[in-house]
Structure 1
Amino acid sequence: MKRITAFISALIIFLGVVFFTQPAQNADKNLASQKVIKVGILQIMSHPALDQIHQGILTGLKEEGYRNGKNIKVEFQNAQGDQSNLKTMAQQLADHDDILFGIATPAAQALVNAADKSTPVMLAGITDPASSGLVKSEKHPGGNVTGSSGDSPLSKQLKVIQEIMPHAKKIGIIYTSSDAGGQSNARKFKRLVEKAVLEPKMYTISNTNDMQQISQRMAGQVDAIYAPQDNGVASAMKTLVNNANQANKPVFPAADTMVKDGGTAAYAIDQHDLGRLAGHMAAKVLQGKKPANYPVEFVVKGKYVINQAQVKKLHLQIPEKIMEQAQKNGKVVK
């Protein structure tokens, strides 16, 4: 009897150990078997606006549970403004990674051309992706491409210029000839300026090396300068601002980061939010949502950003309501 009791006790203990340890072992096996997702990010060049989008992508992925070094591995390539590097870098990422992000239109186009149709390509803050041929339409992208867009709130940007510079008549608009998003932004703004019965004066640079000469000439011919969402202009922002300051002319940029680089004021969407939205969308694609039927999503809510040092330097007055909103919901750069 004692032997039977001891046997039963031992059996119960054995079964208890198996019962409690097996789920943990299975969990460890499942964790070990989880695939680390390879994420490729291609950026056309470095400047604060694009760098903020890049950081936003990582933030969005992290908020969805995808952490670099844990369940995802991020591979980042930066062409540093060299178009010839884009094709090679895009192909490298497309050959190795499970999902791709394009920061700026040329980077996104290079990835779309390099990737096979089964690899998702996420747009990160691309202006007017349909006109760039990246998607069939924003509502029905088709193919393997979707992502975030953030068309500038142009009418509010013009209103900022008018409220701070009520006597300005000639508005200079500068953009890069090779930047599709910059061109689109500049042309739309030109039409708004004409509708407001003001005179738009268009200036084009082919690359950042042109900014010194072109902006110097422009600053002597206009009352205020508008700098659109344009990678070439953003990269040469300090040169633009330096020449504008010498002529005592304010620069009103489209991006919040460009205000920090010397712009006077802006009503702008947050570049970090553009990347963050793309990161959230990518998580849904990784979980099974098809890019072809996943509409491009937009960041539309902007904020006032004021560069206090520039305002003082140019002896300008910021309307009280704009300053209050910048202090409350936007940003005041000191």
Structure 2
Amino acid sequence: MKVNKIFVAFAVLLVCVLGYGFFSSKKGEETKKVDNKEVKVGVLQLLSHPALDQIYKGLEDGLKKEGYEVGKNLKIDLQNAQGDQSNLASMGQKLVTDNNDILVGITTPATLSLSNATKDKPIIMGGITYPVEAGLIKAEDKPGNNITGVSDRTPIKQQLEIMKKVLPNMKKVGILYTASEDNAVKQAQEAEKLAKELGLEVKVSTVANTNDIQQVTESLASQTDAIFVPIDNTIASAMATVVKVTDAKKIPVFPSADTMVADGGLLGLGVDQYQIGVETAKVVAKVLKGADTKDMPIVLANEGVIYLNEAKAKQLGIEIPKEIKDKAKVVDKK
């Protein structure tokens, strides 16, 4: 009897030891951390405005979730060109010569500058609408070079269809964009084609820089029922100027980014800039862990989120259909 008790006690002890070992092993797998060796990430940003700043914030937060934290095992070298093309070139070269392990371009111009500076060091795109057309990669499913990343492309036809539901009497739509921004040009061309297919009369206006925005917007708003704005960094940085003009004429603006809706647009089927940064961080982490950019498909960060500025709708006296309002994410500025 005594022997049996000893045997049972031994068996229980053995099970506990083995169970603890198994649990510890599983726990170790779940909390796996990256190497504590410091990683250097060089980031080139075109300019400062809420949309691009949100991408950077999402990138930093996303890297932390992936196990890379500033002050511990991560150093981020952020270079902001403040909209100056010559700054982009020199800053891109600096990020390469400063021996960063990996580079991130926020916007197409920034990524192009990095691409011109190196064909070897991995470059991750943070929110590039048309990377193939911009000449950055060969194909979205297989880039074929040292560049991969995240696209912020949105479904423009769906956006225009939503605009028609919100404004059933809309006949004329304006398209406002910056002539020098490749992404904006491509989206504007697509929007013009699709709008005409939907039976709308289209008026297209372009700006060269922020100095043109007030005058161009005044002219466009006087000729249209609504204005569509694609992903456009120049317009985004001066939304206050745009909406000051359009509000005076009671013309709603339909942008393509959440921050632009919050800055005075009415509604947009657009991109969550912060989430683009988070998705970019995931790509950065994969490359740091050994993935090859040549074979990494481009990530489409958004599936078309509806962003609504309820305060703007009320100000303009526009009633948003329930089917749209129920799906929308309200982004009024507090």
Please name the residue that 1:99 is paired with. 102
Is 2:330 the counterpart of 1:331?
Answer: yes
Distance in 2 (CA, whole Å) between partners of 1:332 and 1:254 is 13
- Superposed CA RMSD: 1.4
Question: Any residues of structure 2 matched to 1:310-321 within 5 Å, and which?
Answer: 310-321=312-323
Alignment partner of 2:74 out of 57, 68, 72:
72
- Contact map agreement 1:176 1:204 (CA 8 A) in 2: yes
Moved over 4 A (4+): none
Please name the residue that 1:164 is paired with. 166
Query: Greater shift after overlay, 278-287 or 296-305?
Result: 296-305
Please name the residue that 1:218 is paired with. 220
Question: Any residues of structure 2 matched to 1:1-334 within 5 Å, and which?
Answer: 34-96=36-98, 97-117=100-120, 119-326=121-328, 330-333=329-332
Deviation of 1:116 (Å): 4.2
* Number of aligned positions between the proteins: 299
1:28-54, Cα deviation, whole Å (9 max, x unpaired): xxx9x9531110111001111111111
Please name the residue that 1:11 is paired with. none
Deviation of 1:161 (Å): 0.9
- Contact map agreement 2:40 2:76 (CA 8 A) in 1: yes
Distance in 1 (CA, whole Å) between partners of 2:268 and 2:299 is 23
Structure 1 residues 79 and 332: alpha-carbon distance in aligned structure 2, compared to 1, 3 A threshold: closer
Query: Secondary structure at 1:289's aligned position in 2?
Result: coil
1:71-128, Cα deviation, whole Å (9 max, x unpaired): 11001011111111001111111112110000000000001111241x1000001011
Runs of at least 5 residues in structure 1 that lack an aligned partner in the other structure:
1-30
- Contact map agreement 2:166 2:321 (CA 8 A) in 1: yes
Query: Secondary structure at 2:277's aligned position in 1?
Result: helix
Structure 1 residues 217 and 71: alpha-carbon distance in aligned structure 2, compared to 1, 3 A threshold: same
Give me the identity figure in percent: 44
Distance in 2 (CA, whole Å) between partners of 1:224 and 1:34 is 53
1:192-216, Cα deviation, whole Å (9 max, x unpaired): 1011011111100011111011001
Distance in 2 (CA, whole Å) between partners of 1:269 and 1:81 is 21
1:245-301, Cα deviation, whole Å (9 max, x unpaired): 111100010111101100011122211111111110110100100001111111232
Please name the residue that 2:12 is paired with. none
Query: Greater shift after overlay, 264-273 or 289-298?
Result: 264-273
Runs of at least 5 residues in structure 2 that lack an aligned partner in the other structure:
1-32
Distance in 2 (CA, whole Å) between partners of 1:38 and 1:115 is 16
Structure 1 residues 204 and 67: alpha-carbon distance in aligned structure 2, compared to 1, 3 A threshold: same
- Contact map agreement 1:270 1:302 (CA 8 A) in 2: no
Query: Secondary structure at 1:325's aligned position in 2?
Result: coil
Query: Secondary structure at 1:46's aligned position in 2?
Result: coil
Distance in 2 (CA, whole Å) between partners of 1:95 and 1:300 is 34
Q: 2:284 is aligned with what amino acid?
A: A
- Contact map agreement 1:95 1:115 (CA 8 A) in 2: no
- Contact map agreement 2:141 2:298 (CA 8 A) in 1: yes
TM-score (norm 1): 0.87
